[in-house]
Amino acid sequence: MKDRDISAAMTILGEAVRKWQTPAVTIVSQRGGDPFKVLISCILSLRTQDRTTGPASERLFALADTPAKMVELPAEVIEHAIYPVGFYHQKALQIREICRLLNERYNGQVPDELDELLKFKGVGRKTANLTITLGFGKPGICVDTHVHRICNRWGYVCTRTPEETEFALRAKLPSEYWLVINDLLVTFGQNQCHPVSPRCSSCPLAHLCERRGVTRSR
């Protein structure tokens, strides 16, 4: 994909994804835009499918929707609420620790700076960027496996890791697409541009995609 084609690709994707389910963390952000809920939902979503993340987030926030309330819950109660998300035992402990630090160091408020969010154990660049973009509406580029895979498959970037992809996109992706690229490519990756055997024959971006690394498709 040529640099000049990215605007056309984003426009096409914006129309195409309307027929598919919105990512779970985005749905959470649309219900009030609470950065705390975005942060916690993103943690729950790691190594977990959206159909599990959404209900788990709802069960947990029904019990505690602020850091102050969350630290009052025993880890076992959090585990029970979020099961069966991936690594639910570790995530329950991580959530309580994050909430403890939010209460002690940030007056119960989620910081809106990337470097501050990265200080929390278990919060990587994907989670931090998603919290900033969905929770605060601030510029950031959230790169998960879908964004990394698809941007390389298109030929828009040539990188080895999601972190490299983030910095490559920061250097070349027009700023108007920073906040939306994750939602678009996660939805697109879950439904059309699969890791193995993507649906290239029905892809609305087939004419722009270089199909790098694709050995088998449908």
- Which pLDDT score is estimated for 141? 95
- Which pLDDT score is estimated for 122? 87
Assigned CATH class of 24-136: mainly alpha
How many Å is the Cα radius of gyration of the chain?
18
- Which pLDDT score is estimated for 39? 97
- Which pLDDT score is estimated for 4? 92
Residue 124 region by backbone torsions, left for phi larger than 0, else alpha for psi between -120 and 50, else beta: beta
- Which pLDDT score is estimated for 41? 96
Low-confidence residues of the chain: pLDDT under 50: none
- Which pLDDT score is estimated for 33? 81
Q: Are 19 and 180 in contact, with CB atoms under 8 Å apart?
A: no
- Which pLDDT score is estimated for 32? 79
Residues designated as active site: 126, 144
- Which pLDDT score is estimated for 215? 94
- DSSP per-residue letters across the chain: --GGGHHHHHHHHHHHGGGSPPPHHHHHHHTT--HHHHHHHHHHHTTS-HHHHHHHHHHHHHH--SHHHHTTS-HHHHHHHHTTSTTHHHHHHHHHHHHHHHHHHSTT----SHHHHTTSTT--HHHHHHIIIIIH--------HHHHHHHHHHTS---SSHHHHHHHHHHHS-GGGTTTHHHHHHHHHHHTS-SSS--GGG-TTTTT---TT-----
pLDDT tens, 84-139? 999 999 999 999 999 999 999 999 999 999 999 999 998 999 999 999 999 999 99
- Which pLDDT score is estimated for 42? 95
- Which pLDDT score is estimated for 216? 94
Q: Measuring CA to CA, which residue among 165, 141, 145 is closest to residue 155?
A: 165
- Which pLDDT score is estimated for 31? 84
